[in-house]
Amino acid sequence: DAGITQSPRHKVTETGTPVTLRCHQTENHRYMYWYRQDPGHGLRLIHYSYGVKDTDKGEVSDGYSVSRSKTEDFLLTLESATSSQTSVYFCAISGEDRGDYGYTFGSGTRLTVV
């Protein structure tokens, strides 16, 4: 989607290795979110951010950490990847104006842990 990009788009990594996914936005939105999408589960919230250096855990945060040092960047790190973290990861943003309510999603990162 315009205004939000995720990198990489695809990644294959080995069990036990650290992995960092990047989300970059150009909308200057305050709120950013990381979700994972798995068949039968829909999308589940991993972590979210209220602003720079202000983050909190979602419902499936175990094994993940995040950082937000700039408004435009929100990083998701898998400290030691496991096969259960094979998934599609989506970043989303939302703003404070009612016209911006509801997320804008990135195109996703497909992560495979072997």
Site for other proteins in 2-31 (CB under 8 A): 30-31
Q: Choose the stretch contacting other proteins; rule: CB under 8 A; options: 12-20, 40-48, 65-73, 75-83.
A: 40-48
Among 2, 14, 83, 97, indicate the residue that binds other proteins (CB under 8 A). Answer: 97
Residue 22: name the closest of 86, 81, 74, 80 by CA. Answer: 74
Can you tell me which of 85, 108, 111, 113 binds other proteins, judged by CB under 8 A?
108
CB of 3 or CB of 18, closer to other proteins = 3
How far apart, in Å, are the Cα atoms of 106 and each of 15, 25, 48, 62, 79? Answer: 25, 9, 15, 22, 22
Shortest distance, CB of residue 18 to other proteins, whole angstroms? Answer: 25
Q: Does 106 engage in binding with other proteins (CB under 8 A)?
A: yes
